[in-house]
Structure 1
């Protein structure tokens, strides 16, 4: 049986995450045994949902590289910037890029609000901040006509209601690959109300 280059790279990434997670909290240790099923599969779903989009990508608060590194592996022709303030996590991200051979990734070791506006066509974030605050980060770095892909847990509907008090946006909620109550929020026309 032949293993695809993508699968091989995802397996390498998962192995590195398991190794580094002992020293740096990349994902909750209690979820490490289900890394592929719980964390990577949702990022793969995002890669599938977004494959027809064009333009550069920015992943905010990349942490252990979810979804940014999974996107980079699944969409090798797209330039992806990972914004992460934690130097140790940036070391991990650089190591994965080197070991896995990802040439389409730039790593920005800065706070999101301190990075010069990036004007990305696509922005993602996972487990970063409540939606109203997260939209202020997205607004800073999203190009006009761009699209946000925000991975949210079971409370996403309440977060959307709260965000609509200060923001207007078009929303398509895609069901999570791992939890029917969680969602990948695809957002366009984001404006401060």
Structure 2
């Protein structure tokens, strides 16, 4: 049995992530709203609330170091699929990682995301539609957590990951659980991928996948 990591406090989160007092105040407001709204619309599992700083906020914040590095952070555009309670996309936005587009088809959850973005001043746009209905635009990264198995994620995001935006090829940055090996095997049957895998700092069984879709001419290399 895997031992459960120790619960984190807001102060622990601020120290580990290295954010200013002003930014931490934004996360404190976010956490208060998340706790209040979860009782009504099930944004996260109620059982995870006592450890929300590790299981949700730090879990999302750890993706920051794996994002592509444009010349100016403000130029970075991130597409976050199935945002739900805002993880990881809204966290990355509050951390100043760029302009984040949050895709959440549940109208009530979309309202929550807009309210948090307004309260915190996050540079985020909420799209209350299904991913399939979203207009194509250039992105630097596609992110998601607990959204779908990898083959489904790639099916939904392929057009963004292949889009020619005049920059380096966009990356996928996905938080995955214990079934990551099986999901990679299944995805490899359809797509040619350049994949990196990193250990999660919040989940002993979790992984972070950073990948690119390879063009056909590169698939044999």
- Give matches, 1:129-144, under 5 Å: 129-142=148-161, 143-144=163-164
Residue number in structure 2 paired with 1:75: 96
After superposition, what is the alpha-carbon deviation per residue over 1:49-76, rounded to whole angstroms, capped at 9, x for unaligned?
Answer: 3273563111011111000110001125
Q: RMSD across aligned C-alpha pairs, in angstroms?
A: 2.0
Contact 1:169 1:191 in 2 (8 A): no
Q: Secondary structure at the match of 2:143?
A: strand
Contact 2:160 2:170 in 1 (8 A): no
Contact 1:167 1:191 in 2 (8 A): no
Contact 2:68 2:140 in 1 (8 A): no
**Which entry has the higher C-alpha Rg, 1 or 2?**
2
Do structure 1's residue 155 and structure 2's residue 174 form an aligned pair? no
Residue number in structure 2 paired with 1:42: 59
- Give matches, 1:55-66, under 5 Å: 55-66=76-87
Task: Structure 2: state its 5+ residue gaps.
Answer: 1-10, 12-18
Cα distance between partner residues in 2 of 1:24 and 1:165:
37
Counting matched residue pairs gives 191
Q: Normalising by the residue count of structure 1, what TM-score does the alignment of the two structures yield?
A: 0.91
Pick aligned residue for 2:192 from 160, 168, 186? 168
- Return the offset for 1:140: 2.2
Residue number in structure 1 paired with 2:69: 52
Q: Normalising by the residue count of structure 2, what TM-score does the alignment of the two structures yield?
A: 0.80
Cα distance between partner residues in 2 of 1:191 and 1:35:
39
- Return the offset for 1:9: 1.2
- Structure 1 or 2: larger strand share? 1
Residue number in structure 1 paired with 2:132: 113
Q: Secondary structure at the match of 2:129?
A: coil
Contact 1:51 1:75 in 2 (8 A): no
Q: Secondary structure at the match of 2:208?
A: strand
Q: Secondary structure at the match of 1:22?
A: helix
Cα distance between partner residues in 2 of 1:40 and 1:62:
13
Do structure 1's residue 19 and structure 2's residue 43 form an aligned pair? no
- Give matches, 1:91-110, under 5 Å: 91-102=111-122, 104-110=123-129
Cα distance between partner residues in 1 of 2:85 and 2:156:
19
Q: Secondary structure at the match of 1:36?
A: helix
